[in-house]
Amino acid sequence: MFTPLQQFCDRLLLRSACRLCQRPATEILCLDCGRQLQACAQPRQWQSYGVTVWAWGDYAGLLRRALQQVKFDRDRELAQALGQCLADSLIDWPRSPQLQLVPIPIARDRYQQRGFNQAEVIASAVAAAQGWPCNRRSLRRLQATQALHGLSAEARRQEVAGVFDWQASRQSGEIWLVDDILTTGATLREATQTIRANGDRVRGWLLLSQTPALEGLNADKGSATILKLKKQRHPCRDSSVGRAED
Ligand SMILES: [Zn+2]
């Protein structure tokens, strides 16, 4: 608990609470949470379903908590911060004029409830940082699905069958689908299949997180490459996520 005097000083200095621990911070995360989030960066890359899968970190610890807060507390700024973390890990990617990011759309009622699509916010942050186009229009979700959490892989596959529509653009180029969490991959496979059925090629899936058990499900044993990162920028320093005070 903070004293009334501390609260008054915080208001005076325009300090707000860290989104993850509620301690005072001048930006959305305090220094400590920024460091912990930075430690979640363990990018992996592997091949699955004919595409390159690239995931920034495990869906665990602070990253899991942050993603839950994005969804359940409708925290768009935190989603942007996570997208910035992902973008910072991609600075060495080769520039390709053909590349475009396509976020996985959410159902209309969820969009109205939340006010944003977290995959779109993450994709936009990456697109802005990398100078890649973000295509929000071509892939549409035709119908809502029940929450996939708790369903078996087969039930997930059946639930998402036929939910997407792809309006091919003239220059589809090298498509990378973007999502916040990769679990069994049912949603991303369905989107990939829909795009392929319309004559376009999906080059890869770009994920903020993957569930820890995923490699066993989707990749041949031992085929996932753990990527070494160059020193990352602290999410609370030198980036749009901002500076924090403890
Ligand atoms: Zn914090």
Per-residue pLDDT tens over the stretch 36-76: 998 999 999 999 889 999 999 999 999 999 999 999 999 99
> Quick one: 228 exposed, middle or buried, by C-beta within 10 A (0-12, 13-18, 19+)?
exposed
Ligand 1 center–CA 184 separation, angstroms: 31
Neighbours of ion ligand 1 (CB under 5 A): 18, 20-21, 30, 33
Calculate how far, in angstroms, residue 114's C-alpha sits from the geometric centre of ligand 1: 23
Report the pLDDT value the prediction gives residue 226, as an integer from 0 to 100. 57
Token pair 């069958």 is at which residue? 161
CA of residue 205 to ligand 1 center, whole Å: 30
Q: Considering only CA atoms, which of 118, 136, 115, 112 is closest in space to residue 82?
A: 118
Distance 185 CA to ligand 1 centre (A): 31
Residue 16 alpha carbon to ligand 1 centre in Å: 11
pLDDT for the residue numbered 242: 37
Which amino acid does the sequence have at 108?
Answer: R
Q: Quote the ligand 1 centre to 59 CA distance (angstroms).
A: 19
Mean pLDDT of the chain, nearest integer: 82
Q: What is the Cα–Cα distance from 234 to 193, expressed in whole angstroms?
A: 37
Q: Residue 96 has what pLDDT?
A: 75
Give the separation between CA 191 and CA 166, rounded to whole angstroms: 8
* CA distance linking residue 177 with residue 49, whole number of Å: 13
| pLDDT over 70, % of the chain | 78
Which residues in the chain come in under a pLDDT of 50? 1, 12, 216-222, 236-246
What backbone torsions phi and psi does residue 76 show, to the nearest 5 degrees? -65, -40
> 39 CA distance to ligand 1 centroid (A)?
14
Mention the CATH class of domain 42-226. alpha beta
Distance 110 CA to ligand 1 centre (A): 28
- State the distance from the centre of ligand 1 to the C-alpha of 244, rounded, in angstroms: 9
Query: What's the confidence (pLDDT) of residue 171?
Result: 66
How far, in Å, from the CA of 179 to the mean position of ligand 1?
Answer: 25
CA of 88 to the centre of ligand 1 (A): 20
- At 48 the three-state DSSP class reads strand
Angle, helices 186-197 vs 153-160, to 10°: value is: 40
Give me the pLDDT at residue 245, please: 34
CATH 3.40.50 boundaries in the chain:
42-226
